[in-house]
Amino acid sequence: MALKYGGWHAEVPDATNVMWWKTLSDAPEALLTFLYCCMSHFDDAKEVFKLTNMSLSGKVSRSEFEKMIAKRGWADFENDPEWGKQVFRLLDPDNSGDICFPEWCALQYLWNELELCILEFLRFLSRNFAGDFDMAWGEIEDGQGDLDLFDWDKGVQLVGYWGHSTPMFYYAAEGDNRHSVMTKRSWDKLTTIWHKQEELLEKIHSSEPTLTPLHSRPQSSLIAQPDASMNNTF
C-alpha cells in the first residue's frame, strides 16, 4: 500500500517482518468494549483465544464465542446480546462462520495500541508531575472524586494532555460501559501499567512471533491495517 499509493520505496524481503497495526479511533464500540473486558482479565489475545476455542480446532465457532462471553458475565454483553454478535462478525471478516487465529490477531493489534496510548499518557504525566501520579490524579479530578467520561476528558485536557483519552477511561473505569466512572481505584489500575512498561514494550515488540498461528492455515484478510499515524518515542 505504501508503495502503490504513497510512492514509498523500501526493501521488505519478508512480509512477516512487517508489524501491522490498528488504530483505536476507527474501531467499532462493541469491539472496543470486548477489548476492555479481555484486557481486564487476560494477558493477551492468544490467551483469550485458547480459552475460547474449547474444541481445540484452531478456529473459534460462534457458539464457543457466545459461551465464553456468557461464562465471563460481562454486563455490557449481557445487557445487549447483539454486541456479542457484532464482535464475532468483526473478527470474522470473510464470513466463514468461525474465527481462525490470524483473524483473531486483530484483537492483539488493538491491545497493543491501547497499551501504548496508556504508556504515552503516563509518560507525559511522569514528566510534568515529577513521577507523582497521585498529584496528577488530584489535578485531573479537581476535588470532584469520581469522574464520568465528560469530566475525565476535561480534566485530562486541563493538565495539558490532548491525546486520545477516551479508550483509557473505558479500560480503567468502574461500572458497565454506559455508566462508567473513573475512581481512585481505577486510576491506580491505570498507573500500575507504568511500573511494568519494560515488560509491556517487550511484549508489544515481540507480538508478531508470539502471535504465530496455532495451525498452518494461511493468514486471511485481517481487520488490522497499518496505522501511519503511530509514531511512538519509547
- pLDDT given for residue 177 in this prediction: 62
Q: What percent of the chain has pLDDT over 70?
A: 78
* Mean pLDDT for the stretch of residues 145-158: 94
Q: Distance of CA 160 to CAs 48, 98, 136, 138, Å?
A: 36, 44, 11, 14
Higher pLDDT, residue 84 or 17 = 84
CA angle 68, 74, 79 (to 5 degrees): 110
| Secondary structure class of 157 (helix, strand, coil) | helix
Chain segment 155-173, per-residue pLDDT in tens: 999 999 998 899 999 999 9
* Mean pLDDT for the stretch of residues 132-158: 95
Cell reading at 172: 480503567
Chain segment 211-232, per-residue pLDDT in tens: 444 333 333 333 433 343 334 4
53: pLDDT confidence band, cut at 50, 70 and 90?
Answer: very high
Chain segment 104-121, per-residue pLDDT in tens: 999 998 999 999 999 999
Structure pTM?
0.75
The full length of the chain comes to 234
Chain segment 72-99, per-residue pLDDT in tens: 988 888 888 899 999 999 999 989 999 9
